[in-house]
């Protein structure tokens, strides 16, 4: 019989990414010069927690700029998929880490960083494995493709100790359904960052959409 910890292991202590804001904008920055005005627009709209994905060459410079010039923002790194990403994100000034999935090496690197982090899951077995390791807060990805709010609701009965930030395919119509669930702390999304607004550097529109998103309070 296995002697590993029971799945009811309590979440790790420390600040929670899930309680920073009802919505975390998931930002893909193509030009680092846009990072500061974009972050200021999101903060002004009531969304201070900002996930900058490590998908572009500009991402780390964007994190550095936001960390240095927008102190009221809580900037994090997303699409963290390797221990090297963890090291680079911490050096750039990231204040939280988000991954689409996890491995033992990545999980250990995120834990060792000292930052709050959300490892990604999409199955019950992955949730159980993280609970065994003392991790109770997770990213649920890709949310809509992996079963949506109905899936997370079904996990609430057997695994109430697990809490989630669902991300992937969520828009303003679906977000309230997720936020109404007791095991969901926040959602991640991009709908407040439409491509045409970013291309036009229409930060006023981004701020308005962020304000609408920030009004999606849980219950």
> CA dist 42 to 14, 70, 151, Å?
25, 11, 30
Bridge partners for 27 per DSSP: 52
Catalytic annotation, pick one of 139, 153, 207, 212: 139
For residue 152, the number of C-alpha atoms closer than 13 Å in the C-beta half-sphere is: 31
Would residue 139 show up in a list of annotated catalytic residues for this protein?
yes
Distance CA 194, CA 190 (A): 7
Catalytic annotation, pick one of 30, 51, 153, 207: 51
Report CA torsion sign: 203, 209, 213, 214: positive
Q: In this structure, how many other beta carbons lie within 10 angstroms of the beta carbon of residue 151? A: 16
Q: How far is CA 22 from the centre of its chain?
A: 11
The DSSP string of 6-71 is: PTTPPPPPS--GGGS-SEEEEE--S-GGGHHHHHHHHHHTT--EEEEETTSTTHHHHHHHHHHH-T
Q: Which two tokens stand for residue 128?
A: 């159980």
3 state SS of 2: coil
Task: Name the residues annotated as catalytic.
Answer: 51, 139
């Amino acid at each position: 019989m296995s002697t590993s910890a029971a799945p009811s292991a309590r979440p790790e202590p420390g600040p929670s990414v899930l309680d920073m804001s009802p919505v975390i904008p998931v930002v893909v920055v193509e030009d680092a010069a846009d990072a500061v005005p974009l972050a200021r627009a999101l903060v002004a709209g009531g969304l201070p927690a900002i996930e900058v994905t490590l998908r572009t060459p500009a991402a780390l410079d964007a994190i550095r700029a936001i960390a240095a010039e927008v102190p009221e923002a809580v900037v994090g790194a997303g699409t963290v998929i390797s221990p090297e990403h963890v090291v680079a994100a911490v050096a750039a000034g990231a204040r939280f880490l988000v991954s689409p999935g996890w491995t033992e090496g990545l999980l250990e690197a995120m834990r060792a960083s000292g930052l709050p982090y959300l490892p990604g899951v999409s199955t019950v077995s992955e949730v159980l494995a993280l609970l065994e390791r003392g991790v109770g807060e997770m990213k649920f990805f890709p949310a809509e493709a992996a079963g949506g709010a109905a899936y997370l609701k079904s996990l609430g009965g057997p695994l109430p100790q697990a809490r989630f930030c669902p991300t992937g395919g969520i828009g303003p119509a679906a977000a309230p359904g997720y936020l109404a669930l007791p095991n969901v702390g926040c959602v991640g999304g991009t709908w407040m960052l439409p491509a045409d607004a970013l291309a036009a550097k229409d930060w006023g529109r981004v701020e308005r959409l962020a304000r609408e998103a920030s009004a999606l309070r849980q219950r």
